[in-house]
Structure 1
Amino acid sequence: VREVDYIRYRDRFAKAAKARRTVSDDEIPKHEVFVYLYDLTKADSEEAELIQIFHGTVDGPRDIISSPQWSPDSERVTFCFFDQQTSHVEIRQAIWSEAVQAAEKSKRRSGKKAAPGQGDDKKNGKEEDGKDGEEEKGKGGGSERRPVQHEAQVVYRFLHFGGPNTPSMVSPFYAHDSRHILFVSEQTGYRHVHMLDPVYQSVEPLTAGRFEVYVDGHSKDHRRLFVRTTKDHSARTHVYVIDVQKKEFQRVVPADGTYSNVAVSDDGKRVLANYVTFGRALELVRVDPAKKPVLKTVTDSHPKLVHRLVRFKPEFFSYPNRHGQTIHGWVVKPPNFKKTDRRPLLVYVYGGPLGTRKIVVDGSYSRDGFLFAHYMAQRHGYLCVVIDPRGVSGYGGLFENANYEQVGKPQVEDLVDGVKYWIEQGGVDPKRVGIHGWSFGGFQTQMCLYTAPDVFQVGIAGAGPTEWENYNAWYTSGTIGPSRPGKADLKKFSLRPLAKNLKGKLLLIHGVEDTNVLFQDTIAIYRELLKAGKETHVELFIDPTGGHGLGGDVKPLNKYRKYEEFLLRTLGKGA
């Protein structure tokens, strides 16, 4: 594994420290993975054979093998393997009775049951069969005992052509009949639950539509599947139950909002979840799906100050981008906002894939997207919006995979379209548009200022990975594009060649001790801006002891004071 240097300024003299990482052009070390079956009822006597049902090679950063799952009758086991190089997902199945038969057959072949008189020959060191004798010698003499080979059969294979995070969510398991297999895939364009009949190797979706479904658990009898879904609203995840036998899909929670960390009782009659919605703080709630849905709050875990801070409710909005796709966001309007105003517009963006997470979520009380937005709206009269452009998770495979080999470009289109949308709504000064973001959002902020400088006049970019060739291979190989060992193929996505296009004002922020996105990336882009004669357009604000989210000498209050001062100096106050 590669080790890269970064500098620590905590002592009298600066010291170099090292961070371990595998980057895009590094050779990925290969390793083998195995899946075995073993009869624990015979473990004490060591009579059971170790049965190998899978042997594969992991040679890609995103190769995945799921945890094997037993059928309710303990007769079958299923798992899946994703090969990143081919993009194929294989769902496999092994049948226990057939594996046991294979083990018995192996015993007979190896002469496990000795023929009459064979035992005396063995005592004298003589073997009736040289090969079998060596195997017995190994087993009896402490040498390696070879497992029985019984390969799990591929019962379904499909090509994954969606978001980079979905293969880790396939995770097949059995339905109540111990025959059909349930799994998640993006074959319909969105993450949905599918049911596989291994006998015919045929698949049918149990859920469908332009929304996402995430499996949280099932009843002990596997008849009911509990999921979270964005079916009712793109910014909300509600708990639904799927009756596997009847193939019915029904909502079980009465209140709109965002449910997370869902836990289901074995009998499927009780559901616990964290619940939040704008205007209400997050708490643990309980629902009894078998009864009339009533939301019962279990905890009361926040002081009065928190309840005062979350009383503000942003407004959700959506607009069509230039390709006819719907883009979602929320807006925080200043007091007495009118369409005849000429207010500064401040956009907050992340823009990258986050598994099942995104930014435009009901009850997301983030510092950047919620608290700072309300502060700038209430105190300084800004119109503040949060937008999820293409590239973000939670809106289907096309959106999550939008970055691949064109990182940042779809987001710029959608964000430009979003600015135009709000200008058309009225109340916005098109000459005072700012954007800010952190991590991927720091990259995206710079991308907007370099490629759409006439739309975005001001940007605050925090810890942006501007040199994708230097970032973690696990992330870049699925999100940014392919690369070859020893070849810096991702160098073409560097922001340095674009820096010369900066026209507005840019504030770069980074923690010197960041081992996620290296501080050297920000220094590289800062140098490029200086060489392009942009010294009056760019400012650098660093945390000498901070990491990826800062947390060193620059505290959150320091950070937002800097934000506020920079924005007021460059965009001015609202009307």
Structure 2
Amino acid sequence: MPNIRYSVLAVALCSLALTSPLQAKKSEPQSYQTTTISVPSVYTADPSIKLTLEQIMADPDWLGREPESAHWSYDSQQVYYQRKQQGSELRDWFARPLAANDNGSAVTLAQQHQAGSANAVYNADRSLQAYAFEGDIYVRDMASGKLTQLTRDNATQYAPEFLLDGRLTYREGWNWYAENLTSGQRIELVNLKTEDQPKGPTKPKGYLAQEQHKLIEFVALQQKNAEQRFAAKQQLQQQNSNIAAAAFYLGKGMQVVGASLSPKADYMLVSVRKAGKRNEKDIMPNYITSNGDIAAEAVRARVNDVTPEPQRIMLLSLLDGSSTELSYTSLPGYNEDVLAEVKAENAKAKGEKYKSEKVIRDIGLMDDWYWSQGAIRWHASGQQVALMLKALDNKDRWIATVDIKNKTLVPQHRLHDTAWVNYSFNDFGWLNNSDSLYYLSEESGYSHLYVKPLKGKAKKLTQGTFEVSEPVLTSNDAYIYFKANKTHPGNYEVYRVASTGGDVEQLTNLGGSTSFTLSPDEQKLLLQFSTNLLPPELYVADATPNAAAKRLTDTMSEQFKKLPLVAPQVVAVPSSHGKQPVFSKVYLPADYKAGDKRRAVVFNHGAGYLQNSDLGWSGYFREFLFHNLLVQQGYVVLDMDYRASAGYGRDWRTAIYRRMGTPEIEDLADGVNWLVDNANVDRKRIGTYGGSYGGFMTFMALFTQPDLFQAGAALRPVSDWAYYNHGYTSNILNSPAIDPIAYERSSPIYFSQGLKKPLLINAPMVDNNVFFQDVVRLVQRLIEQENNNFETAIYPVEAHGFRQPSSWLDEYRRIYKLFEQNL
């Protein structure tokens, strides 16, 4: 397969403009590079093909099965990736040598352990590699390629790490083991137990027990022997290094949040909190079961019912068995009343007065489920350790090091946000060869990269109105590679900057969405690249500026390649509420200016914090194809990255703080005006739809601005934020106990009396994300308000993300019918 460099190629139907001549009414606040991106020439569109809902909503295997979970081979000469089996949820592994000219060959089941892992680790001189496969540990000699299996049992081992003395550690639950790679000896280093410390045989208590020990010699002797055995075992463990060390007892009823062992195996940091108790009322009925019964399935708690437990950071010494709790009092702002204004506003609404006082804030590790990096990072030398901590009120993030000698936290960086600290952009770590930290921070308004010596000021390595993510440090500290949307909010490329500072170098220029993995020899980049028309495929390029990218995979079906798809233009819709435009995709029929004014549909993406008007392939591929179907029938479609969307900086992200559903609907109104002024659209023939957060927005649009759209479809929608989860909702609205004003201001159920136009509500019944209860409560509210402008469709076997093609088809037939009848 020849090298493919995406540059300024023009292919009429398959082109994608980053900026558009349609945005003539207002100029953008900053200059963006204008480029036209093409899809590969192997895509031969057949203009006679007409899209159908039956085809679009069929099992997506018909599109092709894109590469997944790609990673490098140990020698940087081939890549491994998974691919879904046709008609099955199972995945196969493939090996694709860089020198090959096809998709590579399947890896047999007998050889899959040889494929390595994306999470492989290396020793100090990178001569050895270790990884886990199916719960066993493997070590590879990088020079010879020889692979050695260290464990083979029914236990699950994972998280291998090399110690500075050459041994390899790995975990089994909360037990850490170290294996000598020369002798094969395995020892237990650490055993964490969530139990109380054993205190030896129980002393006699109460009158009868004490008298029994006094009067019966045998009983007293048994007591004495038990106490001596207990003391002797403790002495043996303390004085004989060949005996396994005593376990660390963290307390009954405690839960381990995170733990990390020093490369010197002398200390460990552990975070613990009280184990939460499950509320038996948090259930969801499932009516379609294999045995015909109704199943009461356990689900997450609602934000209203959650009180996060603070964490205790413990420094454990493997040298003497001691345990010390580290105090948070050295952290700047640890006792600030950061919610004082919020509390005062809510108190005033109740006719009360709030007096602000210093409060000890609840703090813990940045341990959220969506972040897999780990919040405890040891320096390669084992001499230093850093933690990323967060306030459980969501307003602060700290990076602190540990003064091991004095057993104290030493603050290195504080990120305070009056709204909430982002759950993205929290990567951090140590430079390998100096006592300096690198980290991402949104403190400038955009995520940027910083380096900070322990006893010096932070240095900003990147700057501008763009977002840096996924930093990767080279082993010699020369460069930090990263992904960023530097040239345009929707165009993600790979860059690097010297860790000492200097010019940022652009490495890729593919013009879409590009993510990367640096090869083990740090000479190449494995790229996953996509455009609005090209689903993700794998590429390889040298890790140098302006290197050509060679395509490694072609997994899309011939049927997909023939579709006459209209690429959306990404336009900057002027905002009536701020300087920054609303970047949006617009789908235009070729003849949209001809004839009568057009019908239009505005799509609202889900998740809130998600970017859908970028230049890459969308996870909403069914919606993308549905929008193409609408375009074939003369509709105009607009897909807006409304305020709260990802990719546009901190202020855009936090505009919805304590007022969800207000800025976003203002942006939709600007989108409607833009369609009318620029795309020949009839203001009285515009509808809207979306799922999850997009369903919530459909509610808010139809309830609070009833003349904005003529019809709307809300799919798996949130109707009351007090019923949603804690992790997401408390960031934006605080908690209902503290800030009921924010919940009442932001929840559609409080505004349902405003519904005037036709509304379709589609609700999956076994949705463990947005509960079916959200729809049930809103429907009852509408019934009591005697409103007959809605209809509801339920999907008994579907969760939040539909799986059955029949459900997808039914849902979109109803959406299509709604628009056809009302627009």
TM-score by length of 2: 0.58
Residue of structure 1 equivalent to 2:426:
170
Q: CA deviation at 1:552?
A: 5.4
Query: What is the distance in 2 between the residues matched to 1:425 and 1:296?
Result: 39
Query: What's 1:144 paired with?
Result: none
Q: Which amino acid aligns with 1:313?
A: A
Equivalent residues of 2:643, 2:664 under 8 A apart: yes
Indicate if the aligned counterparts of 1:544 and 1:553 stay in contact, CA closer than 8 A.
no
Alignment map for 1:355-394 (pairs within 5 Å)? 357-365=610-618, 366-378=620-632, 380-394=633-647
Offset at residue 461 of structure 1 (A):
0.3
Q: Percent identity?
A: 24
Say which of 716, 724, 730 aligns to 1:463: 716
Query: In structure 1, what is the Cα distance between the partners aligned to 2:707 and 2:741?
Result: 32
Q: Distance in 2 between matches of 1:61 and 1:555?
A: 42
Letter in 1 for 2:284: Y
Q: State the AA in 2 paired with 1:6.
A: M
Q: Distance in 1 between matches of 2:695 and 2:388?
A: 36
- 1:487/1:342 Cα in 2 relative to 1: closer, same or farther (>3 Å)? closer
Partner of residue 489 from structure 2, selected from 234, 254, 260: 234
* 1:408 aligned to which of 656, 661, 673: 661
Q: Distance in 1 between matches of 2:317 and 2:307?
A: 32
Matching residue of 1:562? 814
SS at match of 2:631: helix
User: Per the alignment, in what secondary structure is the counterpart of residue 232 of structure 1?
Assistant: strand
Q: How does 1:245-394 map to 2 (within 5 A)?
A: 245-260=500-515, 262-290=516-544, 292-309=546-563, 311-322=565-576, 323-338=578-593, 341-350=596-605, 352-354=607-609, 357-365=610-618, 366-378=620-632, 380-394=633-647
How far apart are the structure 1 equivalents of 2:661 and 2:384?
45
> Is the CA contact (8 Å cut-off) linking 1:79 and 1:173 kept in structure 2?
no
Q: How many Å separate the matches in 2 of 1:524 and 1:448?
A: 19
Q: Is the 8 A contact 1:93 1:154 kept in 2?
A: yes
Note closer, same or farther for the CA distance 1:284–1:421 as it changes in structure 2 (3 Å cut). same
Partner of 1:206: 461
1:512 deviates by 1.1
Secondary structure, counterpart of 1:25 in structure 2: helix
Determine the structure 2 residue equivalent to 1:195: 451
The Cα of 1:376 is off from its aligned counterpart by 0.8
Is 1:432–2:689 an aligned residue pair?
Answer: no
Amino acid at match of 2:498: D
Contact kept? 1:509, 1:541, Cα under 8 Å: yes
Give the conservation status (yes or no) of the 8 Å contact 2:364–2:389: no
Structure 2 segments unaligned to the other structure (5+ residues): 1-277, 329-359, 369-373
In structure 1, what is the equivalent of residue 305 of structure 2?
26
Identify the residue that residue 286 of structure 2 maps to in structure 1: 8
Higher helix fraction: Structure 1 or Structure 2? 1
Q: What CA distance in whole angstroms lies between the structure 1 residues aligned with 2:806 and 2:654? A: 34
2:638–2:671 CA contact under 8 A, matched in 1: no
Quote the offset at 1:206 in angstroms: 1.1
The alignment status of 1:69 with 2:377, answered yes or no, reads: yes
Tell me what 1:88 maps to.
396
Q: Take 2:817 and 2:606, find their aligned partners in 1: how far apart are those partners?
A: 25
Q: Which amino acid is 2:683 matched to?
A: P
Residue of 478, 483, 505 corresponding to 2:731: 478
Judging changes above 3 Å, is the alpha-carbon distance between structure 1 residues 59 and 199 closer, same or farther for their aligned structure 2 residues? closer
Q: Find the aligned partners of 1:511 and 1:27 in 2 and give their Cα distance.
A: 25
Indicate conservation of the 8 Å contact 2:600/2:635, yes or no: yes
Whole-Å separation in 2 of the counterparts to 1:25 and 1:308: 50
CA contact (8 A) 2:587 2:638 kept: yes
CA pair 478-279 structure 1, distance change in 2 beyond 3 A: same
> Corresponding residue for 1:114?
none
* In structure 2, C-alpha distance between the alignment counterparts of 1:88 and 1:541, rounded to whole Å: 42
From the superposition, tell whether residues 553 and 428 of structure 1 become closer, same or farther in structure 2 (CA, over 3 Å): closer
Say if 1:552 and 1:269 are closer, same or farther in 2 by CA, change over 3 A.
closer
Give the unaligned 5+ runs of structure 1.
40-46, 103-148
Q: In the superposition, relative to structure 1, how do residues 485 and 325 fare at CA in structure 2: closer, same or farther (>3 Å)?
A: closer
Taking a change above 3 Å as real, the CA distance of residues 456 and 561 of structure 1, as seen in their structure-2 partners, is: same
Match of 1:507 among 723, 743, 760: 760
Question: Is 1:17 aligned to residue 296 of structure 2?
Answer: yes
Aligned-pair CA distance for 1:527: 2.0
Secondary structure of 1:555's aligned partner: helix
Structure 2 matches for 1:180-191, cutoff 5 A? 180-191=436-447
1:155 and 2:434 aligned: no
Instruction: Indicate if the aligned counterparts of 1:207 and 1:249 stay in contact, CA closer than 8 A.
Output: yes
Please give the alpha-carbon distance, in whole angstroms, between the structure 2 residues aligned to 1:176 and 1:5: 48
More deviation, 438-447/227-236: 227-236
Deviation by residue 1:522-567 (Cα, 9 ceiling, x = unmatched): 12212222222321x1111111221112335852222222222221
What one-letter code is carried by the residue in structure 1 that aligns with 2:528? Answer: N
Shift of 1:385: 1.1
- The 1:155–1:525 alpha-carbon spacing in structure 2 relative to 1, beyond 3 Å, is same
SS at match of 2:285: strand
Q: Is the 8 A contact 1:237 1:257 kept in 2?
A: yes
CA contact (8 A) 1:213 1:230 kept: yes
* C-alpha RMSD of matched pairs (Å): 2.8
Which of the residues 431, 435, 438 maps onto 1:179? 435
Name the CA shift for 1:163/1:330 in 2 (closer, same or farther; >3 Å).
Answer: farther
Looking at structure 1, the residues matched to 314 and 526 of structure 2 have their Cα atoms a distance apart, in angstroms, of 33
Over residues 325-344 of structure 1, what are the superposed CA-to-partner deviations in whole Å (9 max), with x where a residue is unaligned?
Answer: 21101111123211663111
Tell me the TM-score normalised to structure 1 length. Answer: 0.81
Letter aligned with residue 151 of structure 1:
T
Give the drift of 1:373.
0.5
Deviation string, structure 1 residues 311-350 (Cα, Å, up to 9, x no partner): 5321110122112221101111123211663111101112
